Amino acid sequence: MAKKAELENVPDVLEQFNALKQKHPDAMLLFRKGDFYEMYREDAVKAATVLAITQTSRTFPGEKEPVKFASFPYHALDVYLPKLIRSGQRVAICDQLETPKLKKEEQTKQKTGEKTKVKVKEEIIPNNTDMAKKKKEQAVQDKPVQTDPNEVKEKPARQKNTEQKAAAEQKPEAKADANVEQQAGAKKERKPREPQMVTADGCKVTHGHAYQGKDNPEEWYFTAKIDGQQLKPQKMDAADLAAYQKKELTIPQLMERYYPTKLMPKVPEDTYRFPRQMEGAEGSVAIEKFNVYKEKDEQRPDFGRYKFYAQVGDARMSAVASRQDLNAYFDRVMTPNQLIEKNFGERLHLKSAYEKYRLPEGVDPKGIRVAKDHTDNKWKVYVDMGDKGKTAKHEISFDDGYSLFKTHTATREQIAAKYLTPEINGLLSAQTAKLEKSNSMKM
């Protein structure tokens, strides 16, 4: 919504600021001064924080103390205005209006000694407004028809009067049509925005920026667009925000941190067509189905969470999906085989699923014992580390026992590393501390 108001006897911009601030105390005022938009007092502080621009102090006539001041070039309005709106600010753009009629009235009043009026156009822009649409409509309504001063030539008085009368009688519709044509020409000449980075698949990343949360000002979010498609904002870590504001983190680095799967190359689409084959523990098996669903059983501890469901051969399995794996699934940067191997590898007794388990250094594999506990008839694993001590016995799962004894896709060392690594590290640390204490006593 745009409002127009006349302020009488406004000798300088600060009085305009004070008068408009009384009318719109919750709005940030942007004053057009030549090739810059300027902000004063509390508005300058807010703008410097949100836009990461420099805030200074300037001395004005009649002011006892320097006034806080910030500015940015007028051509940067398209970049900075959306940032202010997204941060929850209500913005008022204040432009001086000078028309031939006003100039003529001003000259007449100066001759008669009367005080002049300065017209100020206020454009109040509420937050979450479509800025591109508003600017286009405002340009059609308010932009005066311009003429080239180089084409003005001296003409006879009678011809001058005739042309002035014709110009005065020109219909508003004709002026609007001329403005629309000018806007269309400018739009054609406008170059596309340069990408901030390009993904592995050649997609262009633009509009990458951080902004302050509307509900909680202490929270900041990072977002961007890929080929014009808006990405879901991600809450920023405090350390990342500080580094970004100091320009120690770039947009490509933030993209890698908050949207890693958006930058990775996509797998062929036919890899998600089922059934398809994968290598199992005892030969090839068929993947009949693989998808994502949300748990709806309120009695389950994982109610409301997103899970993977896989049907591989005769096995039907589900598991809670991590955020990283969900992004990889929806962005199609990992194949179903890779996601199944990562989330269900141990249940399918795959050799690759156990390769991530390794014993800490300094553990003798000969001390590993996997045996049935006759007190409860359950298979358990423990490690005898000699003078370093002995771990407790831990029950192993059916799938791990099957992989160890039946398919031989897991070793005793891998089973011990899976269940006993924290306890083994504790025994090793205790032994090291004991030796250090003994050496210090000898010294």
What torsion do the CA atoms of 414, 416, 418, 420 make, to the nearest 10 degrees? -160
Percent residues over pLDDT 70 in the chain: 74
In the prediction, which pLDDT does 228 show?
Answer: 92
Q: How many CA atoms lie within 13 A of 299 on its CB side?
A: 0
If you search the block for the tokens 């006993």, which residue do you land on? 420
Cis peptide before 25 (omega within 30 of 0): no
Range scoring the smallest mean pLDDT among 192-201, 412-421, 433-442 = 433-442
Of 400, 432, 434, which Cα lies nearest the Cα of 417?
400
pLDDT above 80: residue 3: no
In the prediction, which pLDDT does 44 show?
Answer: 87
Task: Tell me the pLDDT tens digit for each residue of 4-16.
Answer: 333 343 346 788 8
pLDDT above 80: residue 220: yes
In the prediction, which pLDDT does 90 show?
Answer: 84
pLDDT above 60: residue 117: no
- What band does 51 get if pLDDT is binned at 50, 70 and 90? confident
Task: Tell me the pLDDT tens digit for each residue of 263-321.
Answer: 999 999 999 999 999 999 888 999 999 999 999 999 999 999 999 999 999 999 999 99
In the prediction, which pLDDT does 294 show?
Answer: 96
User: Rounded distance, CA 153 to CA 246, Å?
Assistant: 55
- What band does 184 get if pLDDT is binned at 50, 70 and 90? low
Q: Name the CATH superfamily housing domain 2-129.
A: DNA repair protein MutS, domain I (3.40.1170.10)
User: Rounded distance, CA 327 to CA 344, Å?
Assistant: 18
H/E/C letters for each residue in the chain? CEEEEEEECCCCHHHHHHHHHHHCCCEEEEEEECCEEEEEHHHHHHHHHHHCCCCEEECCCCCCCCEEEEEEEHHHHHHHHHHHHHCCCEEEEEEECCCHHHHHHHHHHHHHCCCCEEEEEEEEECCCCCHHHHHHHHHHHHCCCCCCHHHCCCCCHHHHHHHHHHHHCCCHHHHHHHHHHHHHHHHHHCCCCCCCEECCCCCEEEEEEEEECCCCCCCEEEEEEECCEECCCEECCHHHHHHHHCCCCCHHHHHHHHCHHHHCCCCCHHHHCCCEEEEECCEEEEEEEEEEEECCCCCCCCCCCEEEEEEECCEEEEEECCHHHHHHHHCCCCCHHHHHHHHHCCCCCCHHHHCCCCCCCCCCHHHEEEEEECCCCEEEEEEECHHHCECCCEECCHHHHHHHHCCCCCCHHHHHHHHHHHHHHHHHHHHHHHHHHHHHHHC
Q: Tell me the mean pLDDT in the region 414-433.
A: 90
Q: Which residues, listed in sequence order, are joined to residue 73 by a DSSP beta bridge?
A: 36
Query: What's the token pair of residue 192?
Result: 């596309």
Q: Tell me the pairing of strands 90-96 and 27-33.
A: parallel
The identity of residue 284, as a single letter, is S
In the prediction, which pLDDT does 188 show?
Answer: 58
In the prediction, which pLDDT does 75 show?
Answer: 86
pLDDT above 60: residue 209: yes
The identity of residue 219, as a single letter, is E
Choice between 78 and 232, residue whose per-residue pLDDT is larger: 232
Range scoring the smallest mean pLDDT among 27-41, 172-186, 429-443 = 172-186
Q: Tell me the mean pLDDT in the region 418-426.
A: 94
User: Rounded distance, CA 412 to CA 399, Å?
Assistant: 14
User: Rounded distance, CA 412 to CA 367, Å?
Assistant: 10
- What residues does each domain of the chain span? 2-129, 197-263, 271-348, 365-440
- What band does 33 get if pLDDT is binned at 50, 70 and 90? confident
Task: Tell me the pLDDT tens digit for each residue of 155-176.
Answer: 455 555 555 555 555 555 555 5
Task: Tell me the pLDDT tens digit for each residue of 350-404.
Answer: 999 999 999 999 899 999 999 999 999 999 999 999 888 999 999 999 999 999 9
Model confidence, pTM: 0.54
Choice between 24 and 229, residue whose per-residue pLDDT is larger: 229
Task: Tell me the pLDDT tens digit for each residue of 53-112.
Answer: 888 888 877 777 888 888 888 888 888 888 888 888 888 888 766 544 454 555 555 544
Query: What's the token pair of residue 82?
Result: 């959306």
